[in-house]
Structures are given as structure tokens and as C-alpha cells.
Amino acid sequence: MTRLVLILGDQLSPDIAALAHADRETDIVVMAEVMGEASYVRHHPKKIAFVFAAMRKFAARLRDDGWQVAFTRLDDPENTGSITAELMRRACEHSADELLYTEPGEWRLIKALEEYTDAIPTRYRRYTDTRFLASHAEFEAWAEGRKSLRMEYFYRDMRRKTGLLMDGDQPIDGKWNFDHDNRKPAPSGVDFSGPMQFTPDDTVNEVLKLVADKFPNNFGTLDDFWFATDTSQARRALTHFVQNALPNFGTYQDAMLSDDRFLAHSVLSTYINAGLLDPLEVCQAVEVAYKNGDVPINSAEGFIRQIIGWREYMRGIYFLQGPDYIRRNALNHQRKLPEFYWTADTKMRCVSKAVGQTRDEAYAHHIQRLMVTGNFALLAGIDPYQVHEWYLAVYADAYEWVEAPNVIGMSQFADGGIVGSKPYVSSGAYIDRMSDYCKGCAYKVRDKTGPDACPFNLLYWHFLMRHRDRFQGNPRMANMYRTWDRMDADRRKTVLAEADIWLEKLDTDKPI
Ligand code: FAD
Ligand code: DLZ
Ligand code: SF4
């Protein structure tokens, strides 16, 4: 009896459930670079190169550990192009009569594998992905009966469950959340060392050539590829982060700088999501640094919250809400995604910088994603499905289970308020306070109307007025509506008329 063990491109963990249940003497591990996965959205070339290189190195590691691995390269002539067709081919080749797999992180692939196992007379075992703290059942139990699903309460349960930063059943230092000390703009002169970068080795160079050849027109550059592509490199990147950037992480978590793409962010999500780093291992390294007195509590707590709080919570929401979550459009936004999301060609300096660095790095940090590109799309009323496809394509860490709740829920309010109690919208003033983008911008952040007015200022009020019925009763937004109502009537008219003209220009793809 031969069994196949499927390992997907984001399941590169040696203790992934399907492998843990397999037998290295007799079972065959199946891994496949396939067009189906590499093109369900037009992924950034650096994302594809990262996944392929990490898959190849993981396969080599498994072989060194005594596993038999059937690995399909993208350019293998027999490559059938999809995960399920590759499974079929390998099953015939090895006369396999059983399949072991770990639940994928996307409804699309879950369905494809279910259809496959329904259609063929093979036994199969599907395992829960145990790389997460909260199982689907645990999250469902937590969500059951709650009026609102606020991350903060879920996070406290995860702190209790892991014991991270806990003193018995109480949070260390007496508080669950130290965000009060965070959210400062970055002053000039702070030394953010940036993530550890790795020179491409032979495997990476080979993959870079392949990706350049097969995906020449995808948005994004392959130049200066520096990601870690195996666990040992990713662990070095983690140590580098903890020693150099973590002390500043909390304080400058929401800051943005034109000439610094990473600030004190870890840039570890790509590695964690693919399985190169275990999320708990990452949090434990941070806790040790805190206990050794090397990092302040606001950084340690803030960072751990992102992983055992936000990351787990987002996954819980994705699976709780089901496959149609990505199609939600509670605000009925229908505008097409502007071309400058693919070119960075806009006078709005904040957007141009965020899109430009996304093109170069397949990375932008959280506040760029939320308060620049996300904020703009929401204010301008862009169709959330198109926004979702963009985010899923352009970031190296993007898999639907984590991307969709961040985009459809947190950023675009398209789920009607499951993830966020209010939409994340701001005028230019917020971007000006948290960044240095506005200084060099063709628009003037202080202008509320007129030819040079910052578009975020105009669109902010336009958004609030478009959705007044829905939001004016929200206590967290009442102040905004009071401010508007106190404004001079002529001025209100001008703001809305200018916003309309601006949106018309946006629709015709005129340079803006
Ligand atoms: P850091 O700032 O160093 O944070 C530490 C870690 O916390 C991250 O590595 C990540 O694992 C976790 N984390 C932080 N915030 C979140 C969050 N909101 N949701 C889940 N995990 C979080 N994250 C993804 O991993 N994949 C995505 O496709 C993705 N899409 C996003 C889209 C939008 C519109 C927004 C607003 C956020 C998105 N995020 C996504 C969350 C967050 O922006 C990224 O996790 C983070 O920017 C990754 O960079 P980093 O590793 O330097 O994070
Ligand atoms: C993202 C990705 C890409 C680009 N290519 C592959 C691939 O060729 N083979 C594979 O097994 N996985 C790939 N992946 C990751 C999958 O798309 C991912 O497993 C699903 O989206 C579920 O999260
Ligand atoms: Fe962005 Fe407005 Fe500032 Fe320009 S002025 S960088 S458009 S917020």
C-alpha cells in the first residue's frame, strides 16, 4: 500500500499535520509548482519566486531526512498544471491508494481537494492545520452567542491559553494592552536597521530565472530579491529583528517614512505564513527578550498581540464566515480599481510611495496597507472584490485566510462591521501626522478645498455623507458628523462638489 502526502507551498513546516501522520519509510510526499496556484491571481513575481524557492529547499530537506519526495517543477514537461491533476498523476505513477493532506488555507483549494477525493476511489485523511493556536471549533465556540466579535477579548483568551506575558492568570505589568504608549510618528534620526537580507543562492537564482521567464508581465520587480527561503535563514531574520528592531516596534508601529520601507517592522509574515517560522516560536523569542530586559513591554506586548491576537482572529473570521465572505460588499462600492494601483503613477505622494514600494518589495507595512492604499480605496468607493484581488496578488505574505478578513473586513468594511466596529477612514491630516509623505506632495494637506486640496480631505467627507444613514448613529463616529454639521453650508457644498469632480476624473483614468 502506497500513500501520498500532499504538501502545499504554504505548508513548509516539518511538523505539519499530514507529515506528522505519515511514514517516511513507505509514503511519498507530493509537492508541485503548478500554474493553477501561480496564476489564480497575478501574484507578484517575488511572491512566486519566494514560494517556489522555499518549496524546493523544503523538499531537499525532507529528502535529507529520509523522505521520498515526488516534486514537480513548473517547467517539467509532464506538469499537468494543477494540484489535483498532479495528485492524480502521482497516484497512477505510484499505484497509491490513499492520500494524506492538511487543510489548505483557502476555500477554493479546500473545495478542489474535496471534489478530487469525491471523484476518485481513493481513501483520504484530511488533517486540521495545527500550526494555529485556535482550532475552527474553538473559534466558533468563542464567537457563539456574542453580539460583536472584538479581537481584544479573543486575544486575552489566547494569552491565557499560551501563558505568554502572563503572571498566573493576570497579564504581566498589570495591563492586557499597551497601545496607549504606541502610535507615535517617527522622528528623524532613529536608526531602523531594517530586516536581515539574504544573497540569493543557486536554488533562488534558478527560480528567479524561471519566474522572470514565465511571468514577465506580472506587476512587480524581481530585482534585488533578498527574502529568506528556508527555516534556518528565517530564524536568523527573527533573531536580527528581536535584537535590532523590536525595541522600537511598539512606539513606531503606526509611523510611515518616505525613505524607510520597513521601520521597526519584523517583515516576518511571509516566513510565518509559509511555515518557515512557527508563530509560537516567534512569540516566545519576543517574550524572552522582554524577560531579559532587552525590550520594553509596549513593544513585546504589541508584537505578540499581532500574532496570537490579530493573526489568529483573522483566520477564525475567514473560516467562520465561509466561502462567500470575499464577495461581501456591504457599502455597495462599485468603482473600478484605479490604474495607479498597478503603476504608482499618481501625484498623491503617499499612494505613489506605498504602491511603488509594493512593486519593488512585495511588501508594505500595516499602516501603509490600511491607511494609505486601503483608506483611499474605501474613501473612493472601489469595488472591494477588486481591492481584495489586488492585495492577494501583490504581497508576498498574502494567502486568502489572512488577506481577505484584513481587506474585506478591516480595511474596506465590506463585511458590514464584523471585523471593525467602524470603518478605517481618515482625511489627509492623519497621514500627515504619522508620516513625512505630505511634505513633498503636489497636493496640499492643509487645503480642504481648491485646486491643490488633498484628495483624502475631499473624499473623507464625501464618504461620510454617502454613508450617513449607516454611520451617523455609531457613537464612535458621532464627532465626525457633528464637525460636518457645524461647517458653513457653502463650504460643505463646495467640498462635496469638488469631491464629485475628483471622482469623475478618477473614473476616466486622468492623471491625478
Ligand atoms: P509586523 O508589523 O512586524 O507584525 C508582526 C506580525 O504580526 C506579522 O508578521 C503578522 O504575522 C502579524 N500581523 C500583524 N498584523 C496582522 C493582521 N492585521 N492580520 C494578521 N496578522 C497580522 N497580513 C498577512 O500576513 N497577509 C496578508 O495578506 C495581509 N493583508 C493585509 C491587507 C490589509 C488591507 C491590511 C490592512 C493588513 C494586511 N495584513 C496581512 C496584516 C499586516 O499588514 C501584515 O501582517 C504585516 O504588515 C506584515 O508585515 P510584518 O511581518 O513586518 O508585520
Ligand atoms: C501561493 C502559491 C504559489 C504562487 N504557487 C504554489 C504552487 O505552485 N504550488 C503549491 O503547492 N502552492 C503554491 N502556492 C500556495 C497555495 O496557493 C496555497 O497553498 C493556497 O492558496 C492555500 O493557502
Ligand atoms: Fe497623501 Fe494628501 Fe499627504 Fe499628498 S497631501 S501625501 S495625497 S495625504
Give the number of other Cβ atoms within 10 Å of residue 339's Cβ: 12
Mean pLDDT along residues 313-340: 98
Mean pLDDT along residues 438-455: 97
pLDDT category of residue 189 using cuts at 50, 70 and 90: confident
Q: Are 388 and 352 in contact (CB under 8 A)?
A: no
**Residue 427 CA: which ligand 3 atom is closest?**
8
**Residue 442 CA: which ligand 3 atom is closest?**
4
pLDDT exceeds cutoff 80 at 511: no
Mean pLDDT, the chain, as a whole number?
Answer: 97
Mean pLDDT along residues 325-344: 98
pLDDT, position 305? 98
pLDDT, position 510? 78
Across the beta sheet with 123-127, the strand order is 68-72, 28-32, 2-6, 96-102, 123-127
Q: How far is the CA of 10 from the centre of ligand 2 (A)?
A: 6
pLDDT, position 413? 98
pLDDT, position 154? 97
pLDDT exceeds cutoff 80 at 335: yes
pLDDT exceeds cutoff 90 at 499: yes
CA distance 178 to 473: 29
pLDDT, position 180? 84
Mean pLDDT along residues 287-304: 97
Give CA angle at 421 (418, 424), nearest 5°.
105
Mean pLDDT along residues 24-35: 98
Q: How far is the CA of 440 from the centre of ligand 3 (A)?
A: 9
pLDDT, position 112? 98
pLDDT, position 19? 98
Q: Report the predicted TM-score, pTM, of the whole model to 2 decimal places.
A: 0.98
Q: Are 254 and 183 in contact (CB under 8 A)?
A: yes
Collapse the DSSP code of 414 into the 3-class scheme (helix H, G, I; strand E, B; otherwise coil) and give the result. coil
489-507 and 455-466 helices cross at what angle (nearest 10)? 100
Pick from 168-182, 374-388, 440-454: least confident: 168-182
pLDDT category of residue 313 using cuts at 50, 70 and 90: very high
Collapse the DSSP code of 255 into the 3-class scheme (helix H, G, I; strand E, B; otherwise coil) and give the result. coil
* Torsions phi, psi for 3 (to 5 deg): -115, 145
**Residue 424 CA: which ligand 1 atom is closest?**
36
* Top mutation candidate among 131, 317, 397 for ligand 1, by most atoms within 8 Å of CB: 397
Pick from 30-44, 186-200, 318-332: least confident: 186-200
Q: Residue whose CA is closest, atom 2 of ligand 3? A: 454
pLDDT exceeds cutoff 80 at 1: no
Q: How far is the CA of 89 from the centre of ligand 1 (A)?
A: 36
